[in-house]
Amino acid sequence: MCGISGYLGSGTYYQAIEVLKKMGRAIAHRGPDDSGEWFDSNQGIGLSHRRLSIVDLSPAGHQPMISASGRYVFAFNGEIYNHLFLRKSLEEGGLAPNWQGHSDTETLLAGFDVWGIQDTVIRAVGMFAFAVWDRSTCTLTLGRDRLGEKPLFYGWQGDTFLFGSELKALRVHPAFNAEVDRNSLALLMRHNCIPSPYSIYQGISKLQPGNLLTVSLQQRDLHVVPYWSGNHIVEAGLAKPFAGSAAEAVDALEDLLKNAIGLQMVADVPLGAFLSGGVDSSTIVALMQAQSSRPVRTFSIGFHDDLYDEARYAKAVALHLRTDHTEWYVTAKDALDVIPQLPRLYDEPFADSSQIPTHLVSHMARQHVTVSLSGDAGDELFGGYNRYVITSRLWSRLSHLPVEARCMLSAAITSVSPQKWNAMAKTILSVLPKKAGMANWGDSLHKGAGVMASRSVSELYRGLVSHWPDPSAIVLGSTEPATVITDIARQPLVHCDVERMMALDMLSYLPDDILTKVDRAAMGVSLETRVPFLDHRVVEFAWRLPLEYKLRDGVGKWVLRQLLYKYVPKELIERPKQGFGIPIDSWLRGPLRDWAEDLLSESRLRQEGYFNPAPIRQKWTEHLSGKFNWQYHLWDVLMFQAWLDEEKGCSGV
């Protein structure tokens, strides 16, 4: 795992090298082990690289790296899990160079020389973002992995084309002069993140997953082509579904995941895994331990608040699988101390509050390992989110009620505060089996009530994944841009409502929120994370599975659960779904109140000129009263405000 940056533009060699060093230092946390710069003053191209050494720790892995032919110069961030297979293919064909080391970077460059850039990327299994300069055609190619695990920003600033793993690297270049994009800010208010291809800055974009981009100083227009399409994979999988039995589906998934995990366990540094005790992470750890001759290192964090604590479940799974388990029960102070770091960690405004525990567990893991596997993407691929269950079980009944009746029911539900609903639920559910419980029941009721007036499943889904329902009324001078969620032309052709929601989550929520959250939280402490569920062969198989193999009897991830039960007793896993969160709602009324009040003050909001203060102040007042929980809406605004403070150099809690 590494950090890359660079630019196309003019400059003397020595000036350029200093700029490239500065760009690299801005993202040194992504690669603390080594650094390198390369600049061609005749062509005006510069590459900068920061290295986190994972495979081939020797100087032979130093970057930027030049291919054996001398044609390509390469800066690479990521891991190619099947690179030894690619090497073997080159060697058997008599096409391999005299290898200088055993890094996957050298393997890719050899592939470029023989197969070309696009064909090599198609053959690769892995996660990556890269920049490669072709000396023969004088063109720069940027590439990003299929599902969006690794980030890559780019854009023209005047006569200079900038690119990098994080915006920090672009901002330090003298040509950078971008302004805040109010339209992107509107997207942040809806989704708590800024979906690709947009960024917080005008003229700066994120390369979308599965794409290659080419550009040159002679041809400034960007040429973007997909080498892998999530839309196509969804449509192809549904068109030719898996025809085997349920038992055969479980076995086939087990074989695919074992292979993916086995490849991802290869590293020349200590390796472990995050373990929450849920279905996804437990499956990953179980299959890791099944292939390991010694106990796998596992990590979890706990909270002293039962609504947010999963550590006890993780410990039970770890004891059963006999892993080498480490847990950390964090205090409110531990979590609160992370908040001042968030603008620097996430680099552009990002408001998924689970960023805090994700950073904490990454920080703990980094004390012991350099690589950690995670269970992310299981929900999107195998139907794990509650909204899928709501849609499949309740929408058909709810939609028969007149909209007016649903609005009245919604008003009745929201007239009772989440805290009161939680108190009532605690009393009622105390006499029911444990599995009947639900964390934050009141918040879930309020969220559901907010979308009861939906006129279609698409409208229902958009409501469920939205925070501020009309962001353009909050962000002054903004027009909310189209995204895959709102533009049907960008969506795969899917007839089943639940499968459409799963597809949209995979295409948007997964890369723009989940994977962004994990990448920045982990790379902020120089920890590489790997996601076995995102081996593209696993993804393609998941989309061939019929929906009844995923969602059955109101429970998601059916096929994954059957696989896990081969390794872990059912009673250790079955419990209500619990998000990876923290009590932001109560903290905003307590230890964070003064900090939030300062960032949300009416005079400040008016002076800065980005927000309409009235609706924000109303929600802040209602939240403080305890009648409503507006933590998500307020956190969106607060994370932008804190980021803006960082931009001005005056952040702090």
Summarised one tens digit per residue, pLDDT across range 266-306 is: 999 999 999 999 999 999 999 999 999 999 999 999 988 77
405-455 per-position pLDDT tens digit: 767 776 777 667 776 776 776 666 555 444 444 556 666 676 666 666 677
Give yes or no for residue 602 having a pLDDT over 80. yes
Alpha-carbon separation of residue 463 from 209, 332, 460, 494, 556 (angstroms): 25, 31, 5, 19, 21
Q: What radius of gyration do the chain's Cα atoms show?
A: 24
Q: What is the mean pLDDT of the chain?
A: 92
Q: How confident is the model at residue 10 (pLDDT cuts 50, 70, 90)?
A: confident
Query: What's the mean pLDDT in 533-541?
Result: 98
pLDDT of residue 428: 63
What interhelical angle do 230-239 and 497-504 show, nearest 10? 150
Say if CB 6 and CB 161 are below 8 A apart. Answer: no
Of residues 431 and 160, more confidently modeled:
160
Eight-class DSSP state of 294? S
Catalytic residue (choose from 2, 138, 193, 650): 2
Of residues 116 and 411, more confidently modeled:
116
Give yes or no for residue 650 having a pLDDT over 50. no
pLDDT of residue 582: 83
Give yes or no for residue 536 having a pLDDT over 60. yes
Query: What's the mean pLDDT in 244-254?
Result: 98
174-223 per-position pLDDT tens digit: 999 999 999 999 999 999 999 999 999 999 999 999 999 999 999 999 99
What dihedral angle (degrees, nearest 10) is formed by the CA atoms of 195, 200, 205, 208? -20
Give yes or no for residue 652 having a pLDDT over 70. no
pLDDT of residue 390: 80
Give yes or no for residue 25 having a pLDDT over 70. yes
Highest-confidence segment of 9-18, 536-545, 639-648: 536-545
544-595 per-position pLDDT tens digit: 999 999 999 889 999 999 999 999 999 999 876 666 668 899 999 999 999 9
CA distance 350 to 377: 19
CA distance 563 to 287: 10
Q: Is 193 a catalytic residue?
A: no
Query: Cα 15 to the chain's mean position, in Å?
Result: 35
Angle at 513 between CA 146 and CA 32, to 5 degrees: 75
Pairing of the two strands 223-226 and 205-206: unpaired
CA distance 24 to 5: 7
pLDDT of residue 303: 85
Give yes or no for residue 653 having a pLDDT over 50. no
Dihedral (CA of 386, 392, 397, 398) sign: positive
pLDDT of residue 439: 52
91-104 per-position pLDDT tens digit: 999 999 999 999 99
pLDDT of residue 435: 42
Alpha-carbon separation of residue 483 from 398, 473, 608 (angstroms): 27, 18, 27
Percent residues over pLDDT 70 in the chain? 93
pLDDT of residue 396: 72
> Which domains, and CATH codes, for the chain?
2-228 (3.60.20.10), 243-382+508-572 (3.40.50.620), 583-653 (no CATH)
